Amino acid sequence: MGNEENCDNKSDKNANVKEYEIVEYLEGLNLKVFVSCIVSHDQSRFHWHRELELLLILDGPVVVYTENAQYYLETNDIFIINSNEAHCIQKTSNINSILIFQITADFCRSYYPDLKNIIFIDRHFNDKDNTKKIWKALYNYIADIMFILAKKNKTAFQLKIMAIINNIFFQLLSYSKHEKISNEKTVIDTRNIKRLNRIIAYMQENYMYKISLSDIAEKENLDMYYLSHFIKKHLGLSFQKYLNKLRLAKAIQLLISTDNRTIDICIESGFSDYRYLCKAFAEEYGCTPSQFKIKHPAKEKEYLSNRQSDSQQYILMDLQNTLEMYFDFLKNADKGKVINYDF
């Protein structure tokens, strides 16, 4: 993500930039299933992929940011991220974990090609309000898939899982609000996402330096007023607020994982003055940097020390650990009464 302070490491930074995410599916299936443990306070790493994403919050609450909105999700909530939609997630406690299904529309292109152009408007489901019926159906389908993956020595388990995926989309298309977008709009959206990711990449690589909106406008050959509105529309934040969040994330990482002097933290994270660093902490967390460090839990420090790089915001579990974490969640959630175990 470009958190290295040495300009000689530019190639390493580019390798870590989160842009278009290539999803590697489970063998024989058109989906990927994993648990993501959110370990960073940063919410700034927007990414996108052509797969639709289905989230089940195992340990919340978390905040999901999309192009122009944010959603507060509690434990047990289910959320849909549309295909090609830039998004990111911010944790709210020590370590938050999310079960994620990434599903490509290619699985049904021969008999329902319109799926690739469907945008789901109703996307947040829980067991507390008028979305309870669809939440219960999706919750059961997720459980069925996880049980099948745990016993995948069964004959043709892939067919059973893909049948459930079909049921998931039938449920969503039947009972949740959605719209079909034109091919022209799809092309425009893809172009905007590519531009957005170029902008994000530049900011993530250069936030520790003095950069301005005019720098990006010149690079993109855009009017600065138009660019300002473009960033606000697609990130839900102004240029300066997004830049400050990048700097704050780096400052937090340095604060809790090193014994660096405050002045050094300011320089490495791009804050020109300690007063600006304190202001950023006060606005985001309601405390000073020193108070934040004292409050920071030891468990999270351990997670941070195990990250592959300073910029890694989450740890992705392999399938075995994903299954174990999901079934632990299921036991603790006391939701067994809504799950059909006989599939």
pLDDT band for 41, please (50, 70, 90 cuts). low
pLDDT band for 152, please (50, 70, 90 cuts). confident
CB environment 83-106: b (16+ within 10 A), e (fewer): bbbbbbbbbeeebbbbbbbbbbbe
Q: Is the pLDDT of residue 10 over 60?
A: no
- Region 174-182: what's the mean pLDDT? 91
Strand segments, DSSP code E, in 92-241 are 96-103, 118-120, 124-125, 178-180
Mean of per-residue pLDDT scores for the chain: 81
pLDDT of residue 187: 78
pLDDT of residue 270: 93
Closest listed residue to residue 117, CA positions, set 197, 47, 180, 198: 180
Q: Summarize pLDDT for 269-300 with one digit per residue, the tens.
A: 999 888 989 988 888 878 888 888 877 654 45
- Region 25-51: what's the mean pLDDT? 78
- Region 82-110: what's the mean pLDDT? 86
In this structure, of 90-94, 148-152, 309-313, the range with the lowest mean pLDDT score is: 309-313
Residue scoring higher pLDDT (337 or 39): 39
User: Residue 197 is inside which H or E element, if any?
Assistant: helix 183-206
Closest listed residue to residue 236, CA positions, set 90, 59, 339: 90
How far, in whole angstroms, is CA 13 from its chain's centroid? 20
CB environment 150-163: b (16+ within 10 A), e (fewer): eebeeeebeeebbe
Span 7-182+312-338 CATH architecture: Sandwich (2.60)
Residue scoring higher pLDDT (319 or 6): 319
Q: Please, how many CA atoms are within 13 Å of residue 101, restricted to the half-sphere of its CB?
A: 27
User: What span, in angstroms and rounded, lies between the C-alpha atoms of 236 and 65?
Assistant: 8
The answer to whether residues 319 and 24 touch, using CB atoms and an 8 Å cutoff, is no
pLDDT band for 334, please (50, 70, 90 cuts). low
pLDDT of residue 19: 45
Report the 3 state secondary structure along 98-117. Answer: EEEEEECHHHHCCCCHHHHH
First to last CA, the chain: 43
Spell out the domain ranges in the chain: 7-182+312-338
Q: Summarize pLDDT for 194-244 with one digit per residue, the tens.
A: 888 789 889 988 999 999 999 999 999 999 999 999 988 877 778 998 898
- Which of helix, strand or coil describes residue 69? coil
pLDDT of residue 12: 34
pLDDT of residue 217: 95
pLDDT of residue 6: 32
Residue scoring higher pLDDT (168 or 21): 168
User: What span, in angstroms and rounded, lies between the C-alpha atoms of 312 and 253?
Assistant: 10
- Region 243-263: what's the mean pLDDT? 85
